[in-house]
Amino acid sequence: MEPKIITIAGGGSTYTPGVVKAILSKKDTFPVKEIRAYDIDAGRQDDVAIIVREVVKANCPECVFTTTTDPEVAFRDTDFVFAQIRVGKYAMREQDEKIPLRHGAVGQETCGCGGLAYGMRTIFPMVEILDMVEKYANPNHWILNYSNPAAIVALALKKLRPNARIINICDMPVAIMNGMADILHCDPHDIVPDYFGLNHFGWFTDIWVNGESRFDELKKHVLEHGYLCDVPDEQHWEPSWVHTYGNAKTIMQRFGDYLPNTYLQYYLLSQDIVDESNPDHTRANEVMEGREKTLFDAIARYKETGSYDDGMFVVGAHGTFIVDLAESLCRENGGRYLLIVKNEGAVADLPDDAMVEIPCYVSPRGVEKVSVGHIPTFYKGMIEQQYASEKCLVEGAIEGSYQKVLMAFSLNKTVKSSTQAQAILDEMIDANKGYWPELA
């Protein structure tokens, strides 16, 4: 395999050191000659690059690492673009979460009104990236997109740039399967899932380990413990994630056919989530006080002492998934992954133009979808409502239509009424000045 050039769009992300470490961990099977970090915030990216350079030095010093704010430098002849942009950074994430909570609705960055707001900010910057990559990159490039909210971004990009060489992905199912592996005492790479839904809105319908279904065993465990291990100390999660993984138990006790994506708590347990939330201290604050602080404290220490602990950044699902996928696009045997793709009949009961999250086979030939077939009425109805909300949002963003965006907020299952939806939307319009298109 010829060594590749990889560009990370959103190079100032706290995830960048882990992603780079994941890339270099596969240097023997997926050689990379250059990694470029691209971001519009030069100061933040330069700070993060201090740590990334140490990661490169420790793991593959022959790899060239560069940072830039120039799209031509970033994307010229690149083979892969790993996109992980966060428009508005954590300050706007905080608004996404706190504004809905002030009005009694779920406050979450990718689900509910917060996700719709984030989607409105992300659509057009992602279109700009696609256009720049199309202009400068290797004609056979692939864009692997993590930028959230992935369901809305995928739907908008398929509509606005239908021929773009982009694969939209999410690491949450991978993280859940890592938890399943802890429960089943197996290697996560031995797990093969059957799954359907939209991004952050789906269900596992079977779990195979080395050709054997372990679904009934897993369902029994989740009914008692959620996705938490019998020995919780083995899963080193923050308290909010422990609570989230535990909520799978409540969902399964009520709707026991399939295993839920953890994000379904925001739709099926929305009032519980609101009642348990602190409107003054949300997940955005946890991240700023946790992962964000850890990275920038390490940067400050390095500036003072020149020392850095290479073991402080563990390669998690976010890094391993995107690198495994990139490698599969270069390897004849490829691999099987859950991807966000245009439905086109794969889920028989859903619209052809829906962007569904389903199993797919990946190889140098591209992506081959696995047919899911028919799904039961309850799940079909939930997905159709969520898809309608997301589709109205995309149309409203493109057309600059206040009414369509209000329809999107009103349709969302986390919202009680159009009165509540309008109050949230109007406050979000004020908060997002300079980020959203004008709505009339």
Determine contact, residues 84/49, Cβ cutoff 8 Å. no
Binding residues for Mn(2+): 170, 200
Binding residues: 93, 148, 170, 200, 283
Instruction: Give yes or no: 227 in active site.
Output: no
Determine contact, residues 204/194, Cβ cutoff 8 Å. yes
Instruction: Give yes or no: 263 in active site.
Output: yes
DSSP string of 141-206, one letter each residue: -EEEE-PSSHHHHHHHHHHH-TT--EEE--SHHHHHHHHHHHHHTS-GGGEEEEEEEETTEEEEEE
Phi and psi angles of residue 245, each rounded to the nearest 5 degrees, phi first: -65, -30
- Tell me how far apart the alpha carbons of residues 290 and 214 are, in angstroms, rounded to a whole number: 35
β-sheet with 142-145: strand ranges across = 64-68, 32-38, 4-9, 80-83, 142-145, 166-168, 335-342, 355-363, 366-369
Task: Please classify residue 383 by burial: count the beta carbons closer than 10 Å to its beta carbon, then call 0-12 exposed, 13-18 middle and 19+ buried.
Answer: buried
Determine contact, residues 170/144, Cβ cutoff 8 Å. no
Binding residues for substrate: 93, 148, 283
What's the start-to-end Cα distance of the chain, in Å? 52
CA distances from 126 to 148, 166, 319, 436 (A): 10, 11, 20, 13
- Tell me how far apart the alpha carbons of residues 143 and 133 are, in angstroms, rounded to a whole number: 8
Separation of CA 413 from chain center: 20
- Tell me how far apart the alpha carbons of residues 397 and 403 are, in angstroms, rounded to a whole number: 11
Determine contact, residues 46/67, Cβ cutoff 8 Å. yes
DSSP string of 315-375, one letter each residue: --HHHHHHHHHHHHTTSTT-EEEEEEEE-TTSBTTS-TT-EEEEEEEEETTEEEEPP-B--
- Tell me how far apart the alpha carbons of residues 20 and 240 are, in angstroms, rounded to a whole number: 27
The DSSP letter of residue 102 is: H
* SS3 label, residue 36: strand
User: Which of these is catalytic: 171, 266, 379, 387?
Assistant: 171
User: Which of these is catalytic: 227, 263, 337, 387?
Assistant: 263
The catalytic site residues sit at 171, 263
